[in-house]
Amino acid sequence: MSKLLIVESPAKAKTIGKYVGKDFTVVASVGHVRDLPKSNKKAIDIEGGFIPHYEISKGKEKVVAEIKRLAKSASEVLLATDPDREGEAIAWHVSEAVGVKNAKRIVFNEITKDAVLEALTKPREIDMKLKEAQEARRVLDRLVGYDLSGLIWKKVRYGLSAGRVQSPALRIIMEREREIRAFVPETFFVLSAELETKDKKTFTAICDEEPKTGISADKIAQAARAGDWSVAKVTETETKRAALPPFSTSTLQQTASTRLGFSPKRTMMTAQKLYEAGHITYMRTDSFNMSAVALAQIKDVVTKKFGADMHEGREYKTKAKNAQEAHEAVRPTNFTKELAGTTEDQKKLYELIWRRAVASQMVDALLMRTKISTSVGQENIPTFSANGSRILKEGWLVADPDAKGKETLLPKVAPADPLKLLNLETEEKQTTPPNRYSEAGLVKELEKRGIGRPSTYASIIDTIIQRGYVEKEGRTLIPTDTGDVVSSFLEENFGNYISDTFTAEMENELDEIAEGKRQYEPTLRQFYKPFLAEVKSKEKTAKLTTLGEADKDIVCPKCGAPMIIKLGRGGKFLSCNQFPDCKGMRTIDGKEIGEPEPIGTDPKSGLAVYVLDGRFGPYVQLGEKPDPSTKLGAGKNKKPRRASIPKEKDPSEVTLAEALHYLSLPRELGPHPETGEMISASIGRFGPYIVHQKDFRSLKEDDVYTITLERALEILKEPKKKRGWKKKSD
């Protein structure tokens, strides 16, 4: 009789099957086999002690039946699901669903032959503490989501939802959005001087003071042009730049976003494939630790590839607030493989992981930072300074060159050396509000505040996007009107339950269940009794349809009465306060609304063409707007094509022919002869542009609709200009 080894995925089963031999039958559960039913009445027996009632997940009946059949004829059943709480819970669910009470549990952090065979020698019982911690999280999330979502349906709008972790994430995004809305820009001036040394070398120095008015800036500029320039001081400082630790889940998602342009979801899906193929260790971890075997491999690789003097053993401490079960960092399983993976995404991510892990065990990089301070020879004139840096010794950067950054080299000068002013420019600027969160930025913030777990970051972001609470523009997360309203409602009525403190403390309590310091039922009861009372107390609040009064100068287009802000299916809108007697309605920007009427039909696609208005101004749209409650890309619910209307064009006068002309953007002009990457032309928030490999160039004189590939190549060869107003130097 053969032994039965149960894992989670078919890919994992295939890899492990090569290692364990003919004595084992390896089968996949394909993830969870049981879950709570959709109806909360059937799902959890609250009075009985928060007892969950699980059902076989839809579509898993055949999987469970096959495992049950194999288990009956097996001499031993081993559960080899992932080495975390979720994996422990899956192992328990499989054993319960199949009816095998004596199944043993084995764990390994990497899918290699040595790791799997060693794990087989150390079978153990299922860790019920880990299982209960996962179960408590699942039940808690269901109770919070079910009760809060039900209340939001009644008080805001049907179909909306809330969650224990997704709502704090949305709140964080909205807090930043409110900072941006409240931000008042301030004007300041930057003065830059192009200087020449006695050796005819040039460099640029920036005024250390940033005057607030043009008069002050002109005063400094006039004195600077009349002064005798010289070197006042040269400061050179050697600094060390230490290697970064190997990746945790969070830092992997952040770095893959900034360097590779991967979303957290894409990163985790790619990492999962690399793990299942045996190329990397388990990718859901808070830890920076690496095994002695891994450290020895890295030392050998560094010595052979870069030299023995480049190796420096290091240990890194985990900084995460609620570090999960002890795993290793995300690292390659075999450091002699610099490349691995079958797809381009896998190859890129593996190389990133390899470089980071190897570099973490190498010597510091040595940099020289230089500062040149100048004198203008005039009283009460601020100093102009230039800062530069150069790498003296690459150290770990030789293994991870993308982490170098840009060097700024300054000429060799000495104090009292004369300088010649070649040019002086004054640039007017304005302070900018804080940036909206990117996906990587939100992951970093969630980890910093102790909200969620490594395995949940990607799904948290995906959930608030799919719910229509947040839209992605490039990598930036922008809250929608619906997200604003939902978050505002929850902050006003359940602020303590979606606060950082509560969410992080709840994570600590779940950790304590896993450690055996807390019990399942008392923990949930302690939370749920006051939470349910809070929810019931809000049942008497009025339905949130009116959000406030509009500005006094905005009146009903039909009867002239004041307008009030309301919430509808598509977000906020303005309604006449005499509604329904007067059916005058307008959007926030003042246009009349209702169901938009198309201006015509595209003869090629047969889709309706609309003229609409959005966050960044008027635009034309081909096809219907997708239903925000339905996943984009599903069936007919694809995001329609849109194009901006030129600023000089009155949207009310746009014809069908003009709309189709605008919708011809973006235009693909052709591949770049050196890179092979496509060059395209389009119109964005700042006007018409061409783009090649994220190199955006504004079009000032060329027509975006007729520009040729040859002309685009000429523009791309030109030095890139800084955005902003510049005052002439004479």
Q: In this structure, what token pair is assigned to residue 674?
A: 């050196």
CA-based diameter of the chain, in Å?
96
The answer to whether 12 and 5 have CB atoms below 8 angstroms apart is no
φ, ψ of residue 266 to 5 degrees: the values are -65, -40
CA distances from 448 to 13, 93, 177, 442, 619 (A): 36, 32, 19, 10, 39
CA 140 to the chain's CA centroid: 25
CA distances from 27 to 69, 71, 101, 129, 437 (A): 12, 10, 18, 26, 42
Q: Give every strand in the sheet of 420-430, ordered side by side.
A: 230-241, 365-375, 384-393, 202-207, 187-196, 420-430, 725-727
Q: Which of 137, 25, 31 is nearest to 90 (CA)?
A: 31
Residues near 42 by beta carbon (within 8 Å), at least 6 away in sequence: 53
**Rounded to an integer, what distance in angstroms lies between the CA atom of residue 334 and that of residue 340?**
10
CA distances from 687 to 298, 435, 473, 713 (A): 50, 21, 16, 19
**Rounded to an integer, what distance in angstroms lies between the CA atom of residue 33 and that of residue 54?**
10
**Rounded to an integer, what distance in angstroms lies between the CA atom of residue 416 and that of residue 593?**
70
The answer to whether 248 and 329 have CB atoms below 8 angstroms apart is yes
Q: Which of 282, 437, 469, 662 is catalytic?
A: 282
Active site residue 282: yes
Sign of the alpha-carbon torsion through 536, 540, 545, 551: negative
The answer to whether 554 and 586 have CB atoms below 8 angstroms apart is yes
666 prior amide bond cis, ω within 30: yes
Q: Which of 232, 209, 176 is nearest to 470 (CA)?
A: 176
Query: Strand ranges (DSSP E) for 555-644?
Result: 563-568, 571-576, 585-586, 600-601, 608-614, 617-622, 641-644
Residue type, 655: T
DSSP secondary structure string, 463-489? Answer: HHHHTTSEEEETTEEEE-HHHHHHHHH
Residues near 114 by beta carbon (within 8 Å), at least 6 away in sequence: none
Active site amino acids: 282
